[in-house]
Amino acid sequence: LRTRASAAAPPETSRRALLGLTEPELRQLAVDLGQQQSYRGKQLHDLVYKNRAKQVEEFAYVPKVFREALVGAGWNVGRSPVHHAVTATDGTTKILLKLEDNRLVETVGIPVDDRGTPRLTACVSSQVGCPLRCSFCATGKGGFARNLKGHEIVEQVLAIEESFKHRVTNVVFMGMGEPMLNLKAVLEAHQCLNKELKIGQRMMTISTVGVPNTISKLASHKLQSTLAVSLHAPNQRLRETIVPSAKAYPLEALMDDCKNYFLETGRRVSFEYTLLAGINDEKAHAEELAALLHACGGGYHVNLIPYNPVEGSEYKRPYRKAIQAFVDALESRKITVSVRQTRGLDANAACGQLRNEFQKNPLLESSPPSEPNQLLESSTPSEPSLVPA
């Protein structure tokens, strides 16, 4: 607790956020700042997580001297303003948040009517950009700036809830960045979302393209969340051309780690596979993929993602006939498969594209927010839904 919520004033460059702290931590912080009443920490908790206050100055029923002590010790709520938002004709909304260092990060809200039950999925980013530079991914083309802090991940979910005026039911760590390269902050955010925002662990999915020695670390936490591994190829040679980082993490080692993850956690691993026309979408690829999964045991699921075109990329989206043939080849070999539903964000659809349009470098302090909630017509290829199957 003392390392997360000690009261000593930090340098201006390391301002600390109340968002992400637990109620016991907030109670201790209140005591550290001279508040004798035990309920002050509970008030902070309610203001941050229930009232959704965005600034300490908005803490209306907290004594002024306490508010001043919080600010003086370098504490803020940890909420960032919306810089830009676009909403597609189906309701899917992509939001750019402007962080305190003027970097932009994307988050996506995806509404679904699940057999009459409304569901809202938040697709959250874990990094500003991504250093892995997968060849088909818009995020990597925009470069990498830094890891996100835990509260900067949590606040994306709050921004989605405020945009939709609806509770988020599912969270997928499938936005900008590689979650396993920022595992500490991802786990902090996961715990906060579960304990403070009451989103069930089984309603969350953590995605990875594969980083050596991290899947075993994740398994040791025994989370009840789904691990989604971005495979994109059925063999090492092809995978290296699509996912450059695969050179440091052979497919055989990755699959062994996935098998061990299932054995240690009892949770099924889902495999993401982006279909690229003429590259990895042939029937022979599907047959090889099925053999790879059967060799690692049973219980696996493949989520096929028809490629969403990115400006400047040589890749193309497969035709429906090719997609269906791939599905049929997997299902005939007893592999559970789904095709990610195409929907949402009719322009700048791929992950990272909207951020790339608005930012290559940190924004100037005077950069104004764009007009939010611009409605876009669905006249161009749209984004695959990020709702886990």
Q: Each residue of 4-16: pLDDT tens digit?
A: 665 554 444 457 9
Q: What is the pLDDT of residue 4?
A: 62
Percent composition of the chain: helix, strand, coil (DSSP 3-state, to 5)? 35, 20, 45
Q: What is the pLDDT of residue 61?
A: 86
Domains of the chain: 16-76 (1.10.150.530), 82-347 (3.20.20.70)
Per DSSP, 74 falls in state T
Q: What is the pLDDT of residue 133?
A: 80
Find out whether 294 and 122 touch, Cβ atoms under 8 Å: no
Of the candidates 144, 154, 210, the one whose C-alpha atom is nearest the C-alpha of residue 18 is 154
The catalytic residues are 106, 351
pLDDT at residue 141 above 60?
A: yes
d(CA 150, CA 81): 17
Find out whether 44 and 29 touch, Cβ atoms under 8 Å: yes
Residue 278, phi then psi, degrees to nearest 5 = 75, 0
Mention every residue, 6+ apart, whose C-beta is less than 8 A from residue 217.
183
pLDDT digits (tens, 9 = 90+) for 324-374: 999 999 999 999 999 987 655 454 545 655 566 665 555 454 445 554 443
Helix (H) or strand (E) holding 154: helix 150-164
Q: What is the pLDDT of residue 381?
A: 32
Q: What is the pLDDT of residue 377?
A: 32
Q: What is the pLDDT of residue 298?
A: 72
pLDDT digits (tens, 9 = 90+) for 297-311: 877 899 999 998 777
Radius of gyration of the chain (CA): 22
Mention every residue, 6+ apart, whose C-beta is less than 8 A from residue 189.
20, 124, 150, 151, 153, 154
pLDDT at residue 48 above 50?
A: yes
Of the two residues 209 and 4, the one the predictor is more confident about is 209
pLDDT at residue 388 above 70?
A: no
Which neighbouring-strand residues pair with 173?
206
Q: What is the pLDDT of residue 357?
A: 60
pLDDT digits (tens, 9 = 90+) for 60-75: 889 999 999 999 999 9
Q: What is the mean pLDDT of residues 182-193?
A: 98
Find out whether 148 and 185 touch, Cβ atoms under 8 Å: yes
Q: Name the pTM for this structure.
A: 0.87
pLDDT digits (tens, 9 = 90+) for 223-246: 999 999 999 999 999 999 999 999
> In 3-state terms, what secondary structure has residue 30?
helix
46 pLDDT band (50/70/90 cuts)?
very high
Q: What is the pLDDT of residue 372?
A: 41
pLDDT-above-90 percentage for the chain: 70
Q: What is the pLDDT of residue 386?
A: 39
Per DSSP, 92 falls in state -
pLDDT at residue 379 above 60?
A: no
Q: What is the pLDDT of residue 80?
A: 97
Q: Which residue has the tokens 């990060």?
A: 105
Per DSSP, 166 falls in state S
Min mean pLDDT across 29-43, 141-155, 212-226, 295-309 is at: 295-309
pLDDT at residue 322 above 80?
A: yes
Of the two residues 116 and 369, the one the predictor is more confident about is 116
pLDDT-above-70 percentage for the chain: 83
Q: What is the pLDDT of residue 261?
A: 94
pLDDT digits (tens, 9 = 90+) for 237-284: 999 999 999 999 999 999 999 999 999 999 989 999 999 999 999 999
